[in-house]
Structure formats: C-alpha cells, structure tokens
Amino acid sequence: MAAGNHDAIKNVAKKNANLLLDQFSPLDEVIKRVQVYKSELNKNKLNDDTHNRIALARALYIAKDEKEKMEVIEKRMMARSKVDQLSERPDGKNQSSIMSFKGPDEALKGALIGTEEEIHERLKKLRDNGVGYLLLVDAGGGIEHLRKFAKKIMPTYH
C-alpha cells in the first residue's frame, strides 16, 4: 500500500501490508517514515523485517560531474513545478504529503541524481535504514543509465 503521512503509514502497518513510499521525499524523511512503519509493526507484534516490506520510488540520473548533475536537477525542478500545478486543488489547499517536498532539496537530498559515488552513498543509507526495494523513474538518462545502474550500482545494493 502506498502511504506518505505518518498516520497513513501506521494504518498500512496495522493491516500488515507492505509499504510503498513516494519519489519526492528527502532521505531523512524516508528514514522517519520507515521508523514509523517498523515501530507500528513491532507494536502490533508483526514481522518488522522492513527490507522485504518497503519499496521506494526514486528518480535516477547518473551524472558524469557536478555541472551535469545540477543541469538535470534544474530540469527536474521545472518538471516538478508543472506536476505540482496539475495536482493542486482548485482552492489551493492541497495537504497531500507528496506535495510537501518541493524545491532543490527534493532533488538534491532525495532523488538518485548524482555521480555514481553519490548514488552509492544514498543507496547505502536507504539499505541501512530498512528500504529493500527501489522503483526507478527515468530522470533523463534513459535505458543507458538503467543499464549502468544494473551493472555498476545495483550489485552493491543487495
């Protein structure tokens, strides 16, 4: 089940369902959400091995250097702005958790946009904090970046 706010995550855990987290939240928020989920599973005496229970969506772009990374992040922020406009309620009061994280922090501290080394570091942090599965969203690199991810990065994630 997909969830983002802490009450919804607790509800997923109470149902003993696996959890799907969004692609926009920064890593620190992902870790907080994992802790909420794990705590609620534990509280209800359910299997709290989150590595087999949590999937996280993330945008992927393997940049050759800082300049390319920042160009991709700028494009992502423009695209995200368009998505936000389409997702907004007519009264402008959208309180959805997916709308909470905007601006450069979403891409700089959440997405898998960066050099191989930066992506390795983010994945290690995710794995070490209970995220076992990733759903990758293309941030402009196409099949070439997916192949590179599969050959050079994914083997170290397990």
Range of the domain at 149: 6-157
Extract the runs of DSSP E, i.e. beta strands, from 54-145: 54-62, 112-114, 133-138
Task: List pLDDT tens digits, range 90-110.
Answer: 777 765 545 555 556 666 778
Distances (CA, A) of 74 to 44, 84, 94, 96: 43, 15, 24, 23
**Domain containing residue 140: CATH number:** 3.20.20.30
Residue 23 lies in a domain: yes
Residue 1 lies in a domain: no
In the chain, how many domains are there?
A: 1
CA dihedral 48, 49, 54, 60 (to 10 degrees): 140
Q: pLDDT category, 80, cuts 50, 70, 90?
A: confident
Whether 87 contacts 81, CB under 8 Å: no
The pLDDT, as a whole number, for residue 104 is 61
Strand partners, 158: none
Task: List pLDDT tens digits, range 43-69.
Answer: 999 887 888 899 999 999 999 999 999
The pLDDT, as a whole number, for residue 106 is 66
pTM above 0.85, yes or no: no
Task: List pLDDT tens digits, range 4-47.
Answer: 899 999 999 999 999 999 888 889 999 999 999 999 999 999 88
Residue 58 lies in a domain: yes
Residue 18 lies in a domain: yes
